[in-house]
Amino acid sequence: MFHSKIELTNQIKLGIEQLIEMPNSRVLLSSKDCGWAVVHSYEISNRLLCEFPSNKLLEPNNTLNEEQEQALIALGYTSRRSKRCFGKMSSATSSEDIQNIAKQIVEGMMVFSTELSTWSIRVDKEHRQILSNRAVGDQMRKLSKHRTHEARIELYKMLLNAELLLALDGNGVPLVVDTIGKFPCYGLFTEARHLYHFDPRGLNIQRDYGSSLFPILNALAPGSVFLNPKCELRGELYRNEIESLAQAVRRR
């Protein structure tokens, strides 16, 4: 709970100073029911990405109006991730840089809620995921153009042998991203960039090989598993496909 913008700015400044010492970490700022902001550090830890949600990621009763969107744009935050958020890259090479970044973040936060008491801050060390599976993505594109049995079987093999990111909820169980009737659907990400497209904050993740993840998902009797949900490169595995993948693991 914060009582002044100065206090809030100072706390964000401290968080950014920690990020600079911790590559691939984040500062997460949340206002209950109103919005959030996230600051990510990278391998070069003085390079920082700050993002705010767009209406695509906000609850219907908390959407931004045009004036609020323009206020974020005036602060230098531009549309990112297929208009799912507003963001800006910054370099923090001096204390002045850090102070200015913190001030701009606070001004962005005020677009969502000026009630300082609703905002909270947390720093998560090494929260950012790094994972690339370009071959899997290439095979997904190939299957979308040529829906052959051979292309599908090859994708199955690649999914079983690749490291994947399974989204978890706050209780550490697979996150329900949708439903089909009464059946839950879960989200599985083939690359880290797709995870951050889905939710720029990042998510709690179980990172493991598909051969370990598909038996877990099959045991949950899902309606389907979405590959890279909400992303340009996405797919869906139906119930029978998930069962087949879990059975393939048992036969190994």
| 142-161 per-residue burial string, b: 16 or more CB within 10 A, e: under 16 | ebeeeeeeebeeebbebbbe
Mean of pLDDT values over 167-195: 97
| Alpha carbon distance 73, 226 (integer Å) | 32
| Alpha carbon distance 85, 103 (integer Å) | 19
Question: Which amino acid would we find at residue 240?
Answer: N
Taking the model in full, what pTM does it have? 0.93
Tell which residue, 86, 101, 75, has the closest CA to residue 14.
101
Domain 5-124 has CATH 2.10.260: no
Containing 142, the helix (H) or strand (E) segment is: helix 134-145
Q: Tell me if 34 sits within 8 A of 113, measured CB to CB.
A: yes
Quick one: pLDDT at residue 58? 96
Residue 133 to residues 130, 149, 159, 219: CA-CA distances in angstroms? 10, 22, 10, 25
Query: Which residues touch 219 (CB under 8 Å, ≥6 apart)?
Result: 246
Question: Whose structure tokens read 């998510």?
Answer: 203
Tell the CATH superfamily of the 134-250 domain: Uncharacterised protein PF11572, DUF3234 (3.40.1350.90)
Quick one: pLDDT at residue 45? 79
Each residue of 218-229: pLDDT tens digit? 999 999 999 999
Q: Tell me if 64 sits within 8 A of 106, measured CB to CB.
A: no
Residue 118 to residues 3, 38, 71, 88, 157: CA-CA distances in angstroms? 10, 16, 20, 24, 47
Each residue of 111-164: pLDDT tens digit? 999 999 999 999 999 999 999 999 999 999 999 999 999 999 999 999 999 999
Give the count of alpha carbons within 13 A of 105, CB side only.
32
Residue 62 to residues 55, 111, 120: CA-CA distances in angstroms? 8, 11, 18
Tokens representing 213 are 């993840």
Mean of pLDDT values over 158-171: 97
Tokens representing 9 are 């700015």
Question: Where are the chain's structural domains?
Answer: 5-124, 134-250
Measured torsion, CA atoms of residues 213, 218, 223, 226, in degrees rounded to the nearest 10:
20
Question: Whose structure tokens read 């090859």?
Answer: 154
Question: Which amino acid would we find at residue 91?
Answer: S
Quick one: pLDDT at residue 119? 96
Quick one: pLDDT at residue 59? 92
Each residue of 26-81: pLDDT tens digit? 999 999 879 999 999 999 878 999 999 999 999 999 999 999 999 999 999 999 99
